[in-house]
Amino acid sequence: MTKIPPEFPAARALEESFRALGEERAQEQQQARRARRRMPRRASRVVIIALTALLLVAVVATGTKVFLGDGGTVSPDPKGLTGHLSPAPAYRQLALATAPDPVQRQPWGLRLFKSANGDTCLALGRVVSGRLGIVRDGRFQELPARTSGMCSPLEDRHIVMASRIFSDSAVAGGRGVLFGIVDRTVTRLRLRSAGGTWSPLSVKADGTFLVVRKGRRPFRQTQLVVDGSTGHRAIVLDR
């Protein structure tokens, strides 16, 4: 580049102005190149944010509805739900003991609760989707939440039990159901048939047990034998 002599100040001023303009243009081009290099990264951030928003919308849309394996659904939760489901009240909790029905697909189960005076209570029924009820003409009907049951002071008797017979009109073919609950003093439960055959009876972790048999009197002359720290006793279920 030719150097302009000092005696030509106007020419030197013009040269300085062109140099400043060139540096400004170069700086603008450099900033533009940097912006283009950042474009894919920023665009990817926009895509990620958009996908996250869509996922959050999906969670909000489905989080208040429970889908069941049998194809049924539970109604959506009320408006204003804070994002968690409250546990079922104690009087609606199911016991651990269940038993399949010999013919129908709905199993049997129990509702375990306390009475007003503190007695241990059990309500018997059929279980569908975690609900206790009855089956009539092949249709399930849930029992009311406050349905009464068999109650007794478990702490004093160490076992609360009953056997029920369902006739043909109630359950096709008839049913005999043995159910109850024991405390920790009981170590073993067995059934002894009229012919002297022994069969163990399974007790669940909450102390409940349940046996369902087909027939009008399937427990005839059968004994429930209870062993534990308080002694040994035999209870005749059906004479």
pLDDT digits (tens, 9 = 90+) for 141-174: 998 877 788 899 999 999 999 999 998 777 888 9
Residue 123 lies in a domain: yes
What percent of the chain is predicted at pLDDT more than 70?
Answer: 62
Residue 46 lies in a domain: no
32 secondary structure, DSSP code: H
Question: Side by side, which strands form the sheet with 198-200?
Answer: 198-200, 186-192, 223-228, 231-236
45 secondary structure, DSSP code: H
The model's pLDDT over 98-110, given as tens digits with 9 standing for 90+, comes to 999 999 899 999 9
User: 144 vs 199, which has greater pLDDT?
Assistant: 199
The model's pLDDT over 59-96, given as tens digits with 9 standing for 90+, comes to 333 332 222 223 233 333 344 433 333 334 554 689 99
pLDDT of residue 111: 93
Domain count, the chain: 1
Residue 218 lies in a domain: yes
Mean pLDDT for the stretch of residues 116-131: 92
Whether the CB-CB separation of 110 and 97 falls below 8 Å is answered with yes
Mean pLDDT for the stretch of residues 134-139: 84
Residue 168 lies in a domain: yes
Residue 191 lies in a domain: yes
Residue 138 lies in a domain: yes
Q: Where are the alpha helices (DSSP H) in the chain?
A: 9-62, 154-157
In this model, does residue 39 exceed pLDDT 80? no
In this model, does residue 44 exceed pLDDT 80? no
| Confidence band of 135 (pLDDT split at 50, 70, 90) | confident
Residue 75 lies in a domain: no
Whether the CB-CB separation of 218 and 191 falls below 8 Å is answered with no
Residue 200 lies in a domain: yes
Helix and strand totals (H; E) in the chain: 2, 13
**Chain-wide mean pLDDT for the chain?**
75
d(CA 148, CA 155): 20
CA 64 to chain centre: 13
What is the reported pTM? 0.61
Range of the domain at 185: 90-236
Six token digits for residue 15: 């040269």
In this model, does residue 189 exceed pLDDT 90? yes
d(CA 93, CA 110): 9
Six token digits for residue 136: 């009539």
